[in-house]
Structure 1
């Protein structure tokens, strides 16, 4: 019996080691590592800050932003650096709410092209990083800052624009638009395309829920299977001493799992989220005022606007208020995105959080274009004649003039204001 016990303990020890190895390998398989060249910040010397404005009558829905992010997801490549994009809202009492994108300058042209493809009437200009203004803040400035994080694992979806009757962005822009004096507020979404491997966790969760009627993430799924394996091992060992080969083997009946209606809905929503591409995301908020109470009030108002995305029994945003706001400010300015802390939103969720304003937006202090611009004609004379002016369309400029043969068809009238140029032309009619 002592020999049998020693054999049992040896086999049991090997079994435990085997389980640990399988667990480690599974975790490594399900984890994603970015290519070695992938950075966690946008370096100061290579960043470009793009300010985007659209007309007040812009009729593009958040679906345009979803299609934009679907295109930007193509920036992910397994063998090269995965770029960081920072989608930002910046507001103060002077300029109102501004929409900005900060990106590595090597990707700026591609980003601009994709934005123009979805928002043809947009105007994109390269501007100085607005965060540089912090160097001129008054010494008495009070800052409140923090991050918005998911309450549950990222496979569980949030409410998106298809679930709203009004534009959800108006809740955020409304919260940051009522500023006075030197007050400022920033909302930052630092994102990076994520490979299509995170859906495996969703598939595993759904399979566990359907097979066991148990939530994988409440600790029951894995440990239930673990202890069932251990108890089955012990039971098989002790039953081996009383094994009767003449006794027929009883077939094992698979239990019938009946899911609750909310679990069926949960599976449906998790599957729907996993069908679309995902982005790694971190959300930061900063509010500045001359009064600490007012700074916290602005900050909490912005954070509260994210509660509208909560879904019952699924997921929601919660607030992590920073004890050291300067640390958050550093991450804001660097556009920091850790490769290890992973929270994923799919393109529909991301578009619900950040898209250009449209006619259904409620905020009135948005920075918008006052007039539309048309592209220059294809036959614009640029290689001959007298130079008269310069085009300015989508950031591209081109000097142009008037052809020599056209100069013969024009008459020049030169004179100071009030000398009668208009009257003379009227009399010539």
Structure 2
């Protein structure tokens, strides 16, 4: 018995005018498109609901970290801290993710300069406080860690505001995240006196922070989301591209290719108008190491080096909040971008302001409302420590993170207004005291000026206020100057 396939209805369909063809297609298959769209929307709304419900019960705390005078630890110590924080990574099964709403909790590394006085902070889920303290004390045994109120309290997140204006942006990578930025190792030297062996890139940021006047506030934030090891496969894919090796095809791409090829073959069976079509396939020939250029060799080695260390999904944000009469965007914006550009490896990767979506700068049409929306968004995202809003997180390993956020090395940093402990201690404090009588930036600023988080009496020299304007003289209790 012969099987005959009649393609006449299909041929008649393709012979119809375009408007009738589209109409029949929507009548017969349009419901499928809307069904898929509905399911995708339902998925997003459901996950947002259950995750929001679960996340509302999570308590976060803000820890101020002061290191002792005479810090000679290089960023390698902070790199070890971040490796320890990777222990917060957890995986969720289907029930935990879809019905309980559980998700990976994040940390926030922050540097805040309030009117020229600078503090290093880490925002963490309360249940990971011991993890953070252990990470810090393991590298800085004489450090002081205390819980403080959120310095963002009392500042506006809706603009225009009568008193304050804001500049801010997220930073994104210019190349694939498997290519590393310049790290602290490239700021180290083998020759010369001790104070020149490491040229601390943090010095520029500390100088910028200490130059802020009364009414100016600079906030720098790196969101850390612990992740697993699946990202290492992306490194292999990038290496294969450099070597000219055929890339791996995912199951989804294979399915799409099968559908497209089937439709193409079917159309060729129905119509002969295409004539003989020469099938072209991409030819891949793997390069040998001798055929690679020096740049290609360097890129492969850099990817392998980055893949050898733990990594986090990251977001980088900066917000400059200042009273309108003293705001100096040119100084702070250009200065901070200059600090970030120190880490540019032009043949590998670098960080740049996200001018397209999050930076408080717009061009072309409808500029006023768009600028206001961006100011509101970047400020709100920063204050909420939001790890999903804005641009897609990218990957940085612990060495890159330690380069971007570390305590300044005293021998190479001229940062007179960085809060540090006045003297070394034999062991970390057993009880950390929190002052609940004040809040927001006033509480943090008082703590920075006092140099002591306990309730001890302070002498006059310990409680000097900063000058009203200009760079001024640092308080007597701060370690430099």
- Would you say same fold, with TM above 0.5? yes
Counterpart of 1:145 (choices 155, 159, 168) is 168
In structure 1, what is the Cα distance between the partners aligned to 2:119 and 2:57? 21
Query: Counterpart in 1 of 2:431?
Result: 395
In structure 1, what is the Cα distance between the partners aligned to 2:180 and 2:108? 22
1:41-52 pair list within 5 angstroms: 46-52=59-65
In structure 1, what is the Cα distance between the partners aligned to 2:413 and 2:345? 22
> For each residue in 1:280-320, what CA deviation from the matched residue of structure 2 results, as whole angstroms up to 9, or x when unmatched?
11111111223486135312311221001010211111112
The answer (yes or no) to whether the contact 2:180–2:306 under 8 Å persists in 1 is: yes
Which ranges in structure 1 are unaligned for 5 or more consecutive residues? 10-33, 217-221, 238-252, 376-391, 398-429
> For each residue in 1:237-288, what CA deviation from the matched residue of structure 2 results, as whole angstroms up to 9, or x when unmatched?
9xxxxxxxxxxxxxxx984632211011111101111111110111111112
Q: Aligned-pair distance for 1:346?
A: 0.5
Q: Aligned-pair distance for 1:157?
A: 0.5
Counterpart of 2:218 (choices 185, 192, 196) is 185
1:119-130 pair list within 5 angstroms: 119-130=140-151
Counterpart of 1:154 (choices 159, 162, 177) is 177
Query: Counterpart in 1 of 2:407?
Result: 356
Q: 1:256 to 1:65 in 2, by over 3 A?
A: closer
Query: Counterpart in 2 of 1:335?
Result: 385
Q: Report the structure, 1 or 2, having the larger strand content.
A: 1
Counterpart of 2:322 (choices 289, 294, 311) is 289
In structure 2, what is the Cα distance between the partners aligned to 1:162 and 1:40? 43
- 1:164 equivalent in alignment to 2:214: no
Q: Aligned-pair distance for 1:65?
A: 0.8
In structure 2, what is the Cα distance between the partners aligned to 1:315 and 1:175? 24
In structure 2, what is the Cα distance between the partners aligned to 1:255 and 1:365? 58
In structure 2, what is the Cα distance between the partners aligned to 1:185 and 1:396? 27
CA RMSD of aligned residues (A): 3.8
Q: Aligned-pair distance for 1:177?
A: 2.2
Q: Aligned-pair distance for 1:394?
A: 4.5
Q: 1:352 to 1:145 in 2, by over 3 A?
A: same
**DSSP-derived class of the 1:288 partner:** strand
> For each residue in 1:363-399, what CA deviation from the matched residue of structure 2 results, as whole angstroms up to 9, or x when unmatched?
2221111122334xxxxxxxxxxxxxxxx925358xx
Q: 1:396 to 1:212 in 2, by over 3 A?
A: closer
Counterpart of 1:84 (choices 106, 111, 118) is 106
Counterpart of 1:56 (choices 69, 75, 86) is 69
- 1:271 equivalent in alignment to 2:293: no
Normalising by structure 2, we get a TM-score of 0.60
> For each residue in 1:333-357, what CA deviation from the matched residue of structure 2 results, as whole angstroms up to 9, or x when unmatched?
1100018923010010001111122
Which ranges in structure 2 are unaligned for 5 or more consecutive residues? 11-46, 93-101, 189-198, 269-282, 361-370, 434-481
In structure 1, what is the Cα distance between the partners aligned to 2:105 and 2:336? 27
